[in-house]
Structure 1
Amino acid sequence: MTFVTTLRFTSGDRHVLDSVVNDIKQTARRKGVELKGPHSKPPEDLRVPQSKCPGRDSKEFRPWRYTIYTRTIHILGHGEFARDTAARDFPDDIYVEADVDRITGGGADT
Protein backbone atom coordinates (compact mmCIF):
# COMPACT_ATOMS: atom_id res chain seq x y z
CA MET A 1 0.00 0.00 0.00
CA THR A 2 1.37 3.38 -1.04
CA PHE A 3 0.26 6.82 0.03
CA VAL A 4 0.12 9.75 -2.37
CA THR A 5 0.17 13.20 -0.82
CA THR A 6 -1.20 15.96 -3.02
CA LEU A 7 -0.11 19.47 -2.12
CA ARG A 8 -1.99 22.34 -3.76
CA PHE A 9 -0.43 25.79 -3.53
CA THR A 10 -2.34 28.95 -4.43
CA SER A 11 -1.23 32.57 -4.39
CA GLY A 12 -1.77 35.91 -6.02
CA ASP A 13 2.00 36.30 -6.37
CA ARG A 14 3.18 34.00 -9.16
CA HIS A 15 6.89 34.64 -8.56
CA VAL A 16 6.77 33.73 -4.86
CA LEU A 17 4.61 30.69 -5.66
CA ASP A 18 7.04 29.42 -8.31
CA SER A 19 9.99 30.01 -5.98
CA VAL A 20 8.40 27.96 -3.18
CA VAL A 21 7.39 25.12 -5.51
CA ASN A 22 10.83 25.01 -7.17
CA ASP A 23 12.49 24.85 -3.74
CA ILE A 24 10.31 21.86 -2.80
CA LYS A 25 11.10 20.19 -6.11
CA GLN A 26 14.87 20.64 -5.64
CA THR A 27 14.71 19.36 -2.05
CA ALA A 28 12.79 16.26 -3.21
CA ARG A 29 15.36 15.61 -5.94
CA ARG A 30 18.24 15.86 -3.42
CA LYS A 31 16.52 13.43 -1.03
CA GLY A 32 15.51 10.95 -3.73
CA VAL A 33 11.78 11.51 -3.22
CA GLU A 34 9.46 10.53 -6.08
CA LEU A 35 7.56 13.66 -7.01
CA LYS A 36 5.15 14.43 -9.84
CA GLY A 37 4.61 18.01 -10.85
CA PRO A 38 4.40 20.82 -10.36
CA HIS A 39 1.25 20.94 -12.44
CA SER A 40 -0.06 24.40 -13.27
CA LYS A 41 -3.74 25.23 -13.44
CA PRO A 42 -4.70 28.14 -15.72
CA PRO A 43 -4.67 31.43 -13.76
CA GLU A 44 -8.03 32.44 -12.34
CA ASP A 45 -8.92 36.10 -12.80
CA LEU A 46 -11.28 37.38 -10.12
CA ARG A 47 -13.25 40.60 -9.92
CA VAL A 48 -14.72 42.03 -6.73
CA PRO A 49 -17.27 44.87 -6.90
CA GLN A 50 -16.72 47.81 -4.53
CA SER A 51 -19.54 50.07 -3.36
CA LYS A 52 -18.81 53.69 -2.58
CA CYS A 53 -21.15 53.47 0.42
CA PRO A 54 -23.52 50.85 1.86
CA GLY A 55 -26.89 50.46 0.25
CA ARG A 56 -28.56 49.00 -2.77
CA ASP A 57 -28.54 52.03 -5.02
CA SER A 58 -24.99 53.03 -4.18
CA LYS A 59 -22.59 53.96 -6.92
CA GLU A 60 -19.57 51.72 -7.30
CA PHE A 61 -15.86 52.15 -7.69
CA ARG A 62 -14.17 50.20 -10.43
CA PRO A 63 -14.04 46.51 -9.45
CA TRP A 64 -10.96 45.23 -7.71
CA ARG A 65 -9.27 42.67 -9.96
CA TYR A 66 -6.69 40.08 -9.04
CA THR A 67 -5.31 36.80 -10.34
CA ILE A 68 -4.90 33.53 -8.44
CA TYR A 69 -2.20 31.06 -9.51
CA THR A 70 -2.27 27.35 -8.59
CA ARG A 71 0.46 24.69 -8.58
CA THR A 72 -0.07 21.04 -7.60
CA ILE A 73 2.57 18.52 -6.51
CA HIS A 74 2.07 14.78 -5.91
CA ILE A 75 4.47 13.06 -3.50
CA LEU A 76 4.51 9.27 -3.89
CA GLY A 77 5.25 7.50 -0.61
CA HIS A 78 7.85 9.27 1.56
CA GLY A 79 5.33 10.19 4.26
CA GLU A 80 7.90 11.98 6.43
CA PHE A 81 9.00 14.25 3.56
CA ALA A 82 5.34 14.97 2.71
CA ARG A 83 4.50 15.85 6.35
CA ASP A 84 7.58 18.05 6.70
CA THR A 85 6.82 19.83 3.44
CA ALA A 86 3.15 20.46 4.29
CA ALA A 87 4.13 21.78 7.76
CA ARG A 88 6.79 24.22 6.48
CA ASP A 89 6.49 27.91 7.20
CA PHE A 90 5.38 29.39 3.90
CA PRO A 91 5.17 33.09 3.03
CA ASP A 92 1.90 34.72 4.13
CA ASP A 93 0.64 35.04 0.56
CA ILE A 94 0.87 31.27 -0.10
CA TYR A 95 -2.15 29.09 0.75
CA VAL A 96 -1.49 25.33 1.04
CA GLU A 97 -3.95 22.42 0.92
CA ALA A 98 -2.89 18.81 1.53
CA ASP A 99 -4.75 15.61 0.62
CA VAL A 100 -3.55 12.07 1.28
CA ASP A 101 -4.81 9.12 -0.76
CA ARG A 102 -4.03 5.44 -0.30
CA ILE A 103 -3.18 3.55 -3.46
CA THR A 104 -3.39 -0.25 -3.45
CA GLY A 105 -1.69 -2.53 -5.94
CA GLY A 106 -3.47 -4.31 -8.78
CA GLY A 107 -3.41 -7.62 -6.87
CA ALA A 108 -5.84 -9.03 -4.33
CA ASP A 109 -7.19 -6.77 -1.60
CA THR A 110 -5.81 -7.39 1.85
Structure 2
Amino acid sequence: MTFITKILLQSGNRPVLDSVVSDIRSLAGRKGADLRGPHSDPPERHRVPQYKTLSGDEGRQFRSWDYTVYTRRLEIVGHNDVSRRVAQMDFPPGIRVEVELEQIQGMGKA
Protein backbone atom coordinates (compact mmCIF):
# COMPACT_ATOMS: atom_id res chain seq x y z
CA MET A 1 0.00 0.00 0.00
CA THR A 2 1.16 3.47 -0.83
CA PHE A 3 0.27 6.60 1.06
CA ILE A 4 -0.10 10.06 -0.45
CA THR A 5 0.23 12.99 1.92
CA LYS A 6 -1.60 16.07 0.68
CA ILE A 7 -0.45 19.36 2.19
CA LEU A 8 -2.37 22.63 1.92
CA LEU A 9 -0.58 25.81 3.00
CA GLN A 10 -2.27 29.22 3.17
CA SER A 11 -1.07 32.63 4.30
CA GLY A 12 -1.47 36.32 3.70
CA ASN A 13 2.31 36.68 3.75
CA ARG A 14 3.55 35.41 0.39
CA PRO A 15 7.34 35.54 1.07
CA VAL A 16 6.97 33.52 4.30
CA LEU A 17 4.69 31.02 2.54
CA ASP A 18 7.20 30.58 -0.28
CA SER A 19 9.98 30.11 2.28
CA VAL A 20 8.04 27.30 4.00
CA VAL A 21 7.40 25.64 0.63
CA SER A 22 11.11 25.91 -0.16
CA ASP A 23 11.97 24.25 3.17
CA ILE A 24 9.58 21.36 2.43
CA ARG A 25 11.01 20.96 -1.08
CA SER A 26 14.57 20.83 0.20
CA LEU A 27 13.64 18.29 2.90
CA ALA A 28 11.93 16.07 0.31
CA GLY A 29 14.89 16.44 -2.06
CA ARG A 30 17.43 15.45 0.61
CA LYS A 31 15.41 12.35 1.51
CA GLY A 32 14.67 11.37 -2.11
CA ALA A 33 10.90 11.66 -1.69
CA ASP A 34 8.53 11.97 -4.65
CA LEU A 35 7.17 15.51 -4.21
CA ARG A 36 4.45 16.84 -6.50
CA GLY A 37 3.94 20.57 -6.55
CA PRO A 38 3.84 23.18 -5.31
CA HIS A 39 0.62 23.98 -7.11
CA SER A 40 -0.61 27.54 -6.66
CA ASP A 41 -4.25 28.53 -6.54
CA PRO A 42 -5.12 32.05 -7.67
CA PRO A 43 -4.82 34.52 -4.77
CA GLU A 44 -8.10 35.08 -2.93
CA ARG A 45 -8.90 38.70 -2.17
CA HIS A 46 -11.13 39.36 0.83
CA ARG A 47 -12.85 42.52 2.02
CA VAL A 48 -14.16 42.76 5.58
CA PRO A 49 -16.39 45.67 6.61
CA GLN A 50 -15.52 47.36 9.92
CA TYR A 51 -18.30 49.05 11.83
CA LYS A 52 -17.84 51.83 14.39
CA THR A 53 -20.59 50.38 16.60
CA LEU A 54 -21.71 46.88 17.54
CA SER A 55 -25.14 47.47 16.01
CA GLY A 56 -23.70 47.18 12.49
CA ASP A 57 -25.06 50.56 11.40
CA GLU A 58 -23.87 50.78 7.79
CA GLY A 59 -23.76 54.56 7.97
CA ARG A 60 -21.03 54.40 10.60
CA GLN A 61 -18.19 52.38 9.12
CA PHE A 62 -14.46 52.53 9.05
CA ARG A 63 -12.71 51.75 5.79
CA SER A 64 -12.98 48.05 4.89
CA TRP A 65 -10.11 45.74 5.76
CA ASP A 66 -8.72 44.22 2.55
CA TYR A 67 -6.36 41.27 2.51
CA THR A 68 -5.11 38.55 0.17
CA VAL A 69 -4.69 34.84 0.92
CA TYR A 70 -2.10 32.82 -1.03
CA THR A 71 -2.42 29.02 -1.34
CA ARG A 72 0.08 26.28 -2.15
CA ARG A 73 -0.67 22.55 -2.50
CA LEU A 74 1.92 19.78 -2.33
CA GLU A 75 1.76 15.98 -2.40
CA ILE A 76 4.33 13.54 -1.02
CA VAL A 77 4.03 10.03 -2.44
CA GLY A 78 5.23 7.31 -0.08
CA HIS A 79 8.09 8.30 2.25
CA ASN A 80 6.06 8.30 5.45
CA ASP A 81 9.04 9.62 7.43
CA VAL A 82 9.18 12.78 5.27
CA SER A 83 5.43 13.25 5.61
CA ARG A 84 5.68 12.86 9.38
CA ARG A 85 8.49 15.42 9.57
CA VAL A 86 6.51 17.94 7.51
CA ALA A 87 3.39 17.44 9.64
CA GLN A 88 5.42 18.03 12.82
CA MET A 89 7.27 21.13 11.57
CA ASP A 90 7.01 24.35 13.56
CA PHE A 91 5.37 26.68 11.07
CA PRO A 92 5.70 30.47 11.37
CA PRO A 93 2.74 32.44 12.71
CA GLY A 94 0.22 33.27 10.00
CA ILE A 95 0.64 29.99 8.10
CA ARG A 96 -2.46 27.79 7.95
CA VAL A 97 -1.64 24.11 7.38
CA GLU A 98 -3.86 21.17 6.49
CA VAL A 99 -2.41 17.68 6.12
CA GLU A 100 -4.48 14.87 4.61
CA LEU A 101 -3.37 11.26 4.27
CA GLU A 102 -4.75 9.13 1.45
CA GLN A 103 -4.14 5.40 1.10
CA ILE A 104 -3.80 4.01 -2.43
CA GLN A 105 -4.11 0.29 -3.05
CA GLY A 106 -2.44 -1.27 -6.05
CA MET A 107 -4.23 -3.35 -8.64
CA GLY A 108 -4.02 -6.99 -7.70
CA LYS A 109 -5.10 -9.45 -5.08
CA ALA A 110 -6.89 -8.04 -2.08
TM range (shorter): over 0.9
Corresponding residue pairs, total: 109
CA distance in 1, matches of 2:36, 2:56: 49
CA distance in 2, matches of 1:22, 1:104: 30
Structure 1 residues 21-60: Cα deviation after superposition (integer angstroms, max 9, x where no partner): 0111011111101110011011000111100112143511
Partner of 2:22: 22
2:61 is the counterpart of 1:55: no
**Percent of residue pairs identical:** 50
Report matched runs for 1:31-110 at 5 Å.
31-58=31-58, 59-108=60-109, 110=110
Q: Which amino acid aligns with 2:105?
A: T
Compared with structure 1, are the counterparts of its residues 56 and 27 closer, same or farther at alpha carbon in structure 2 (3 Å cutoff)? closer
After superposition, the CA RMSD in angstroms is: 1.1
1:84 deviation in Å? 1.0
Q: Which runs of 5+ in 2 are unaligned?
A: none
Structure 1 residues 52-79: Cα deviation after superposition (integer angstroms, max 9, x where no partner): 1121435111110000001011000111
Contact 2:49–2:64 (8 Å) recurs in 1: yes
4+ runs deviating over 6 angstroms = none
CA distance in 2, matches of 1:84, 1:51: 43
CA distance in 1, matches of 2:108, 2:45: 44
CA distance in 2, matches of 1:56, 1:90: 36
Contact 2:51–2:57 (8 Å) recurs in 1: no
1:104 deviation in Å? 1.3
Q: Which amino acid aligns with 1:90?
A: F
Q: Which runs of 5+ in 1 are unaligned?
A: none
